[in-house]
Amino acid sequence: MEKQYRKGDIYGIHRVLEPKGVLPQPAEKISNDMNIYDNEVLIDVHTLNIDSASFTEIERRANGDIEEIKKIIMNIVETTGKHKNPWTGSGGMLIGRVKEIGPNYVGDLKVGDRIATLVSLSLTPLKIDEILEVRAEIDQVDIKGQAVLFQSGIYGKLPKDIPYNLALSVLDVAGAPAQTAKICHAGDTVVILGGGGKSGILCCWQAKKQVGANGHVICVDGFRKSINRAMSVGVADEYITVNAQDAVAVYNEIYEATDGKMADVVINVVNIPNTEMSSIMACKNDGMVYFFSMATSFTKAALGAEGVGKDVNMLIGNGYTKGHAEVALNILREDPAIKNLFAQLYA
């Protein structure tokens, strides 16, 4: 007897359990029934790449204990039907293999394709049977489980020239360097807060490419180890070690580095809260502040800018921009030093 499929909504609204009338991402609970609808894709999941702000908060609450991290992750998924961190509201992404495709799904996927979902785990129906390994140093969790991709869900087929875990770690933050390419221009002074981390290094590299010989890219990080890592691959023109939560210290450092002119573009990829004012203070009037960090508070940013009389443009870190997967992967292809560094750290 031929399998009967239920009719699904393009955005996955049919999966929302509570509250009704919202989309899957803001929903408090969605159905993670792995019997797919007619326009969905079922994925056998291999690895979750937890968003950095989310994993940092989970690790803090678990006091670094791996078994406790597992319990928190399992509880989030069992309670909500997805991996939406209740403290940060963010998720991450996954890699896996396509197991089943609904008959009315429109796309180029085939059963057996290895893919990375490029939509957040905070909206993806997920069922975890077992957590096999937690790699806390790179925010990755290997599992036995399954997930569902909606018709509207974007994905990337995993490249054959880049190891899967390496590709996953880069694709998770692909929106950051791609947006950097759009907002940085020739001759700009660009400050990247959190520049020594994974997304920070990618943004520094992309910014340096965009601003050219007459531009200036300043990599800022709170940890000397991270700064040294960025310096080892030469992604910036200047490197500053300063705590991004200390707005006055950041302002003073950038003031000195720019002879008081401040930055045309500030990119925030820090994975801890309370860095909004450092970003705003480092930027010149009419400049651009790009908040990619999921630890950003809109309220703190908006009211903080108003409070210091800063007229800056603020861009919320949309994790998707057209072609973002290829932009991120091409950095690894174009820069062997970054590929080798990330292979040591993430593959």
Yes or no: say if 83 and 48 are a contact pair by the CB < 8 Å rule. yes
Cα angle 207, 47, 52; round to 5: 40
* pTM to 2 decimal places: 0.82
Per-residue pLDDT of the chain (347 residues; tens, 9 = 90+): 678 999 999 999 999 999 999 999 999 999 999 999 999 999 999 999 999 889 999 999 999 999 999 999 999 999 999 999 999 999 999 999 999 999 999 999 999 999 999 999 999 999 999 999 999 998 999 999 999 999 999 998 999 899 888 888 888 888 999 999 999 999 999 999 999 999 999 999 999 999 999 999 999 999 999 999 999 999 999 999 999 999 999 999 999 999 999 999 999 999 889 999 999 999 999 999 999 988 889 999 999 999 999 999 999 987 778 889 899 999 999 999 999 999 998 87
d(CA 58, CA 60): 5
- As a whole number of angstroms, the distance between CA 113 and CA 90 comes to 26
**Rg (Cα) of the chain, in Å, rounded?**
20
Contact 184, 205 (CB under 8 A): no
Residues 171, 110: Cα–Cα separation, whole Å: 21
Q: What is the 3-state secondary structure (H, E, C) of 12-34?
A: CHHHEEECCCCCCCCCCEECCCC
- The pLDDT assigned to 38 comes to 97
Q: What single string gives the DSSP state of each residue in 176-217?
A: HHHHHHHH--TT-EEEEETTTSHHHHHHHHHHHHHH-TT-EE
Note the pLDDT tens digit of each residue in 4-27.
Answer: 999 999 999 999 999 999 999 999
Omega before 159 within 30 of 0, i.e. cis? no
Place of tokens 């490249």: 159
3-state secondary structure 34-85: CCCCCCCEEEEEEEEEECHHHHHHHHHHCCCCHHHHHHHHHHHHHHHCCCCC
List the chain domain ranges: 13-158, 175-346
In the CATH scheme, what is the homologous superfamily, with its name and number, of domain 175-346?
NAD(P)-binding Rossmann-like Domain (3.40.50.720)
260/302 Cα distance (integer angstroms): 23
Q: What is the C-alpha to C-alpha distance for residues 205 and 266, in angstroms, rounded to an integer?
A: 14
Instruction: Give CA–CA dist 68/262, Å, rounded.
Output: 43
Token duo for residue 80? 């909500």
Structure tokens at 218: 């300043």
Strand ranges (E), 92-203: 92-101, 114-117, 126-135, 140-149, 155-157, 189-193
Residue 86 has a pLDDT of 95
Q: Given this model, what pLDDT does residue 1 score?
A: 67
